[in-house]
Amino acid sequence: MKRNPLECGVFEDEETARKYSRESEKWMENIAKSFISVAKKWGITNGRVLDVGTGPGSLAIEFAKKIPNTKVVGLDLSDVVLAVASENARRNEVASRVSFKKGNAEDMPFDDDTFDLVISSNTLHLLEDPVQMFNEVQRVLTCEGRFFISDFRRSLLGIFTVHIRASYSSKEVRDLLNKSELQNWEVKDSFFWLTILSKEKE
């Protein structure tokens, strides 16, 4: 199946953002379990975490709840969805450790060497230039920083949803990564998902 990019992947109205937040909350809690499990396996118990394409903040909030010594920043381009994310953080009583910032994944508004962990879920297929996002991940990570990026894998299931049709194959992702400055990565794929993560340290 040929890739069919989305015309717009940014929430533009509050009603749509709130609906997505309600409908995706439980689903994102389950996705967050794999992110948190890997982070704990890596020994990440504190430090600064960046969630790229945070949407209504579910992944960032779960991180703050399950690894309470972290400070989490959620990055997104949509003002309306960031307002919903801030409300969700207050409702979950983690607003003191989760903040949200407007910005582009391809030109992040952060200094070099800022974050100990960069995470992202279901954002890669929405970007115009994934290579530039990978470059930015490398830039904002500390020298010992790790990353965990997950997205849909394009397959015949794309007949059911535009998001899978807009996603990448594992070969395409590896080609993009090879063009980028991101270091020490590996790609794992399953029927539904692609995961890009830091290689295990030897």
Number of CB atoms found within 10 A of residue 118's CB: 26
**pLDDT for residue 123:** 94
For the chain, give every domain's residue range: 28-198
Place of tokens 């953002």: 17
CATH 3.40.50.150 fits 28-198, yes or no: yes
Q: Per DSSP, what are the bridge partners of residue 168? A: 153
**pLDDT for residue 158:** 43
Q: Please report, in angstroms and rounded to a whole number, the separation of the first and last CA atoms in the chain.
A: 37
Place of tokens 């400070």: 71
Q: Residue 36 is inside which H or E element, if any?
A: helix 14-41
Residue 191 to residue 194: CA distance in whole angstroms: 8
Write out the chain's pLDDT in tens, 202 residues. Answer: 666 666 656 677 888 889 989 988 888 889 999 999 999 999 999 999 999 999 999 999 999 999 999 999 999 999 999 999 999 999 999 999 999 999 999 999 999 999 999 999 999 999 999 999 999 999 999 999 999 999 988 865 545 467 677 789 999 999 999 999 999 999 999 878 899 999 976 5
**pLDDT for residue 3:** 66
Angle at 26 between CA 133 and CA 8, to 5 degrees: 40
